[in-house]
Amino acid sequence: MSIESCVIYEKKPLLSVNEAQERISAALTPLTQSELIPLKHAFGRTLAQTIYAPNNLPFARNSAMDGYAFSSQEMSTNSPFTLTQIGVVFAGSPFNGQLNKGECVRIFTGGIVPDNADSVIMQEQVNTQDSSIHFPSDIQFGKNIRQIGEDVCVGDPLCLAHKTLSAIDLGFLASAGIENVNVIRKLNIAYFSTGDELIGLGEKLTIGKIYDSNRYSLHGLLQNPNYEVFDGGVIADNRDLLKQTLQQAAEKFDVVITTGGASVGDADYVKDVLTECGSVNFWKIAMKPGKPLAFGRIGHCYFFGLPGNPVAVTTTFDIILKPALRYLTSTYSKKPLLFSACCTTPLNKSRGRQEFQRGILTQRPDGVLEVATSGHQGSHVLSSASAANCYIILDEDVTHVASGDCVNVLLF
């Protein structure tokens, strides 16, 4: 979007949260560059290509039980029978002999089932007397054998491109013998706080100063194996310094995030600087907390200027930034699950912005989901955000929720 059309845009109503999300997706180009890495380093990374099975799984027929394997041909389960044990099959050491009529082998879980055997009976069901194995009637033939390819057939897709590799996926791919995987390269992200009032941990708190908490929240929020994250520290409320810092960062990083200075105060330079050295796509959303949120570009770098208030930072991150970063890393992502819950505390809001109030979601013994406000909803109030486990999402037009009304909640 050009700067001119943005200026016109500002005279229009605020962007809804949905519109903002759509405009961001439309403006982003997901990463395509990939790197080949060892499977062990791939937890949480996004697959660049679909991985296909190089072999059948199981690769060979093997036993699902500790028991006895034999051929049931010409046999009946109507009466007990006795077979002679002629060998033992451990997992990893197959039986090389020939299994004939009237014979069985002792077999352990994972042991290769001899070619002409079709049944494994668990050891708890038999009686043994030296090499004579007595089977009761009413046992089931043809069971307890893991067949070739019953898990995966050679050539089957194992994990699809754009999947985020879970712990199960790592085990799954290892079971298929996949040693290295092609993943999307990491997204390089830098984040900064802005504000003359900010001091660092270890410094003495004095009147007019506050500890910089936003960089700690962002540090936690950006923990993701797909991100390479740089903490750029604090930028003072100085227009030239902000411009110079953002321009330099934009040359090195895919994404730059700032907090603070995005509003309309006299020391809020973020939007002006973004206009000067890049382009503003939008800078206000009908969202609470989180109205001032500047999104745009500086060169090839995407820029997100988040609000300064600490709860606005975490909320805009969860609702706006997180999906955008996932989209950028080509990560397949489903719409987050919303739950309907019975609200046990009355809630108020003013019309016009979609609110993400912080709540505590619990489940009654009868299974019904209940949610209560977590307390003071100021966007500077971290205590109630810290006590919460979900957002209570209230649409733009809602002004009041009575105790007992149903609301939509989004788990943190």
DSSP element (H, E) containing 394: strand 390-394
Interface ranges with ligand AMP (CB under 6 A): 193, 195, 197-198, 210, 212-214, 259-263, 265, 268, 307-310, 380
Near Mg ion by CB under 5 A: residue from 111, 260, 290, 292: 260
Closest-CA residue to 330 (of 175, 163, 166, 171): 163
195-224 residues labelled b (16+ CB within 10 A) or e (exposed): beebbeeeeeeeeeeeebebbebbeebbeb
Give the Cα separation of 367 and 373 in Å (integer): 19
| Residues in 188-207 at the binding interface with Mg ion, rule: CB under 5 A | 195
Exposed/middle/buried for residue 279 (C-beta within 10 Å: 0-12, 13-18, 19+): middle
Give the Cα separation of 362 and 183 in Å (integer): 38
Q: How far is the CB of 212 from ligand AMP (least distance, A)?
A: 4
Between 265 and 352, name the residue whose CB sits nearer to ligand AMP.
265
Q: How far is the CB of 354 from Mg ion (least distance, A)?
A: 24
* Binder of residue 197, out of ligand AMP, Mg ion, none (CB less than 5 to 8 A by kind): ligand AMP
**Residue 261 contacts Mg ion per CB under 5 A:** yes
| Residues in 140-199 at the binding interface with Mg ion, rule: CB under 5 A | 195
Q: Are strands 301-306 and 292-298 parallel, antiparallel or unpaired?
A: antiparallel
Instruction: Provide the mask over 294-333, with x wherever binding to Mg ion is found by CB under 5 A and - wherever it is not.
Output: --------------x-------------------------
**Residue 292 contacts Mg ion per CB under 5 A:** no
Q: How far is the CB of 168 from Mg ion (least distance, A)?
A: 44
Q: Are strands 369-373 and 354-363 parallel, antiparallel or unpaired?
A: antiparallel
Between 232 and 261, name the residue whose CB sits nearer to Mg ion.
261
Q: How far is the CB of 258 from ligand AMP (least distance, A)?
A: 9
Which positions touch Mg ion (CB under 5 A)?
195, 260-261, 308
